[in-house]
Chain A
Amino acid sequence: MIGIGVAVLLWALVATLALMAAVRSKALFREGAREGARDFVVLIPRVLVGVVGSGYIAAIMPQEFITTWIGPNSGLTGITIATLAGAATPGGAVVGFSIGAAALKGGAGAPQVIAYSTAWSLYALQRLVNWEIWMMAPRVVWLRAAVSVPLPFLAGIGAMLLGKP
């Protein structure tokens, strides 16, 4: 139910933005619509591979091992393991999200998965070295990584305290 409400809201936003673009110029509207549609088509197979794949990966992972180390009762130790795993995950978005979803389906706790995806988003080492260091002053990159170290812990602990999701 909530899902449908969110979708309606999003499409209302799409309509508003499309109208704003169209008022500025027809070309702007056409470009936006074309780019959005193309991005969507390109994304479908990538996301589909990850979503369906994570279900099978979860099914063959040793569940006992997962619950012991990063399960719902693994607490701060689990959050630490998940954070380190997030920092060490190489590759693009499909890799990080597939691993996170497979872990969740395979018995990992939600706070631990949140810590994993927060760490992966903020300071996956491969991304820092391959991307950010080329585009920002190195000291900015290292400072950002350093101040981000506690954030996955805060996110995981926040989820633990809320008891959600």
Chain B
Amino acid sequence: MSTHDFMAGRRRVRSFEWSTAVIAAISITAAVAVYLRDGFDKFKSILASDFELFAGMMPKMAAGCLIAAFVIRLLPREVVTRVVGTESGLLGLFVAMVMGAVLPGGPLTIYPVAGAFLVLGADIGTAIAFITAWNLLGYNRALIWEMPFFGPEFVGWRILVALPLPIIAGLLARAAGRLVAARWGDKWT
């Protein structure tokens, strides 16, 4: 596990710098193209409107970072693991969904917690509802990343249509998990 953590950590840092550098390079090329093709006014108006959106979202981003930093300290992973890992049925899926939306952190936090559910005896649907909720409903990502890019209205509607998806994924996973288990055995950890 520690090797994996280490590798994943290294990967994250490296892949992130690569990502930002590529987007920066493409953006600069695009900005130069806009300037040459459409002139300075167009160049300036794009910069102004995007910067305005970004500036308007900065207080929410800051709040998102602080909420995450406090929640991760006030809601230890062990508690989440225990609460979700021992629930079952439809209620289990709901609890997993809420916890996935609430627990901040990156894949390094989330996947081990989901793995721990399975060790504790939660079914595969619960673990998958948790990961799905973290991906689609997590306030952390919505506040820090999505809002500055898309604005609050778009993000609000996006989250609304995503609300049932963790439960659907969990139910599908339970059904599919039974088929897999019948054919290849019941080992998920």
List the A residue with the shortest CB-CB distance to B144: A43
Q: A10-B67, A95-B19 are in contact. Are A122 and B54 (CB under 8 A)?
A: no
Contact with B along A85-100 (1 / 0, CB 8 A): 0000001111101101
A73 close to B (CB within 8 Å): no
The reply to whether A55 and B46 contact each other, CB–CB distance below 8 Å, is: yes
Known contacts A40-B61, A130-B11: does B26 contact A100 (CB below 8 Å)?
no
Q: Let me know if B153 and A165 touch, CB within 8 A.
A: yes
Q: Is the CB of B27 within 8 A of A14?
A: no
Hey, what's the 0/1 contact readout for B1-38 against A, CB within 8 Å counting as 1? Answer: 00010011001100110111011101100110110011
Cβ-closest chain A residue relative to B26: A57
Task: Tell me, rounded to whole Å, the shortest Cβ–Cβ distance linking B189 to chain A.
Answer: 6
The answer on a CB contact under 8 Å between A21 and B23 is no
**Chain A binding surface, main DSSP class:** helix
Query: Is A80 part of the binding interface, using a Cβ–Cβ cutoff of 8 Å?
Result: no
B154 & A165 in contact (Cβ 8 Å cutoff): yes
Q: Which residues of B contact A11 (CB under 8 A)?
A: 59, 63
Task: Categorize the interface residue count of chain B.
Answer: 35 or more
State the total of A-B contacts with C-beta under 8 angstroms: 258
Question: Is A55 a contact partner of B65 (Cβ separation < 8 A)?
Answer: no
Q: Are B158 and A114 in contact (CB under 8 A)?
A: yes
Instruction: Identify 25 residue pairs between A and B in the complex whose beta-carbon atoms are under 8 Å apart, listed by A's number.
Output: A17-B70, A21-B70, A33-B69, A36-B69, A37-B62, A40-B65, A47-B54, A51-B51, A55-B47, A56-B30, A59-B34, A91-B19, A94-B19, A95-B22, A98-B149, A118-B162, A122-B132, A131-B8, A135-B4, A136-B115, A137-B187, A143-B128, A144-B173, A162-B157, A165-B154
Stretch at the interface among B80-88, B92-100, B106-114: B106-114
CB proximity of B71 to chain A, nearest CB, Å: 7
User: Which residues of chain A are within 8 angstroms of B173 by Cβ–Cβ distance?
Assistant: 143-144, 147
Q: A11–B62 Cα gap in the complex (Å)?
A: 9
Minimum CB–CB distance from A27 to chain B (whole Å) comes to 10
Complex alpha-carbon distance, A46 and B19, angstroms: 9
Docked complex Cα distance between A33 and B4 (Å): 29
Cβ-neighbour of A21 out of B19, B65, B74 (below 8 A): B74
- Residue in B4, B8, B70, B169 whose Cβ sees the most chain A Cβ within 10 Å: B70
Q: Is the CB of A39 within 8 A of B69?
A: yes
Q: 8 Å CB contacts to B: which residues of A27-54?
A: 28, 31-33, 35-37, 39-40, 43-54
